[in-house]
Structure 1
Amino acid sequence: MLGNIRRRNLLKIISCCSQVDFKALVLDYMPNGSPENLLHSQNIPLNVLQRLNIMIDVASALEYVHHGYSIHVVHCDLKPSNILLDDDMGAHVADFGIAKLLDGRDSMAQTMTLATIGYMALNLGMEGIVSRRGDVYSFGIVLMETFTKRKPADEMFVEESSLKQWVANSLHPDRVDSEAMDADLLGAEEDHHFVSKRDCSSSIMRLALACSADSPEDRINMQDALVALNKIKIKFLKDTESE
């Protein structure tokens, strides 16, 4: 099914190799690697607009597989290493190896959970319930990591603390603590666009929390998340132009 899907933000499956002792998919080569490498390994600074565009591309891919067919595709393991970047830094969602198909259903139960801890929704990890809202949860965590440069398994999160709780504690009614964001993202307070970047980051973090609510019923869906991200981008561009 994924081989028949043609969508700009899904990694294209060109062909496959299936032999007794070797099985592989042939995929488009993505020269810029993954956001995980850029954020954590190569330490290449990404600006606000680049990060926004990457997450809009990811949201577009998930919105399509969640709502574009009568059979819903649930990725089940969304994380930065499963997002790949092309020549133009366009993002493509990859690695649907444990994806599930929901044929007209909202959810299904499975006996074995293979998703990655930290990005996995509680109802999947504890109850084995696969649903589109599980992908939405993972998307919210990836949003947080992309803008804070903190992994959910960071050593600073011990006992009851978590990336999600840390982000929630950093939010105020009108702003987000700049210390919670990636230092390469906002720059110094005297920078020309500091306020616009901080306001944009605040909106992103609120959206991330709306995606990663503990209860699946309280999470927004990917259609609403995509609309929200595009609105945040439009406002950010207007704010930076007017400064």
Structure 2
Amino acid sequence: MANGSLEKWLHGDGHEQLKRNLKFAQRLNIAIDVASALDYLHNHCQTSPVHRDLKPSNILLDDDMTARVGDFGLARFLSEVAHTGSIGMKGSIGYIPPEYAMGSKASTQGDVYSYGILLLEMITGKGPTDDMFKDNLSLHLFAKLALPEQVMEIVDPQLPVEEAEVTQHNENHVNRRNRMHGCLISMVKIGVLCSVESPRERMRMRDVVAEMHAIKDLYLGTGIHQDKQVRSQILDEGSSYLSHY
């Protein structure tokens, strides 16, 4: 892909130490793209595959910075998991849901957990294996403790404070900043809800997509998507966010 992986944009290249700044709007769009891909896999594919290895290095960005989920080497169909039982703890450290370590079968809720960690990483700029996460402090808890008043204190310092892409050009800077602040709080809440320990308490990807679209509408100052419109778009476009490379 022309723009490489999300990993390089968030944390730089291992050889060149290249770290490129992603604007807030780009991070929001990438989060929506990934959520749409997972929702397509979980809810609109007859075989209902689970990815099992969602992380920044497996998110590829094309010329337009549209994100696609790649690397299906660990993916499994739910029907396969049902017949074979537990197929071992696979995935990448920090993104593996806690229930897999206890022998639970792969599930769509496991992908939801990985998405939640990925979303929090995109907002904070800190990966789940960052050196600061020790002594029972995790990325999930770090974000949860910041809600809602301290969210701006944990936001990635590399996040450019650009003006919002609004339709009302006469809107003052304070209103734009306040709206971006509100969107960040909502995104952190979604990341935390997706990465809770109990699989049954995590959000469903179709609900994540709807909420993320609503956040984008708020950020752009446009009307909130109707649920039917959102799900129709998901069904038509979700498959386009999957990479075949």
Tell me the alpha carbon deviations over residues 43-88 of structure 1, each in whole angstroms, 9 at most, x when there is no partner. Answer: 2111111001001110111111111123110000100100000000
- 1:166 equivalent to 2:142? Answer yes
Q: Secondary structure at the match of 1:165?
A: helix
Q: Is the 8 A contact 1:170 1:176 kept in 2?
A: yes
The aligned residue for residue 207 of structure 1 is 190
The aligned residue for residue 126 of structure 2 is 150
Q: Secondary structure at the match of 2:106?
A: strand
- 1:140 equivalent to 2:116? Answer yes
- 1:182 equivalent to 2:156? Answer yes
**Out of 210, 228, 231, which is 1:227 matched to?**
210
Letter in 2 for 1:238: G
Letter in 2 for 1:132: T
CA distance 1:107–1:90, change in 2 (3 Å): farther
The aligned residue for residue 126 of structure 1 is 102
Letter in 1 for 2:4: G
CA distance 1:95–1:121, change in 2 (3 Å): same
CA distance 1:195–1:153, change in 2 (3 Å): same
Cα RMSD between the aligned structures?
2.2
The aligned residue for residue 60 of structure 1 is 36
The 1-side partners of 2:88 and 2:106 are apart by: 11
The 2-side partners of 1:81 and 1:105 are apart by: 25
The 2-side partners of 1:162 and 1:120 are apart by: 13
Q: Is the 8 A contact 1:186 1:197 kept in 2?
A: no
Letter in 2 for 1:178: M
Alpha-carbon distance, 1:35 to partner: 1.1
Identity of aligned residues (%): 39
The aligned residue for residue 37 of structure 1 is 8
Q: Is the 8 A contact 2:22 2:160 kept in 1?
A: no
The 2-side partners of 1:98 and 1:105 are apart by: 12
CA distance 1:176–1:229, change in 2 (3 Å): farther
Letter in 1 for 2:181: R
CA distance 1:231–1:107, change in 2 (3 Å): farther
The aligned residue for residue 76 of structure 1 is 52
Alpha-carbon distance, 1:105 to partner: 7.8
CA distance 1:118–1:148, change in 2 (3 Å): same
Alpha-carbon distance, 1:159 to partner: 1.9
Which protein has greater RCO, CA pairs closer than 8 Å, 6+ apart?
2
The 2-side partners of 1:33 and 1:135 are apart by: 22
What are the ranges of 5 or more consecutive residues in structure 2 without an aligned counterpart? 13-17, 163-171, 223-245
Alpha-carbon distance, 1:197 to partner: 1.7
Q: Is the 8 A contact 1:108 1:129 kept in 2?
A: no
Letter in 2 for 1:34: S
Alpha-carbon distance, 1:186 to partner: 6.1
Q: Is the 8 A contact 1:35 1:80 kept in 2?
A: yes
Q: Is the 8 A contact 1:72 1:104 kept in 2?
A: no
Letter in 2 for 1:113: M
Q: Secondary structure at the match of 1:84?
A: strand
The aligned residue for residue 24 of structure 1 is none
The 1-side partners of 2:218 and 2:84 are apart by: 38
Tell me the alpha carbon deviations over residues 100-134 of structure 1, each in whole angstroms, 9 at most, x when there is no partner. Answer: 10139889732422211111101112214200000
Q: Secondary structure at the match of 2:60?
A: strand
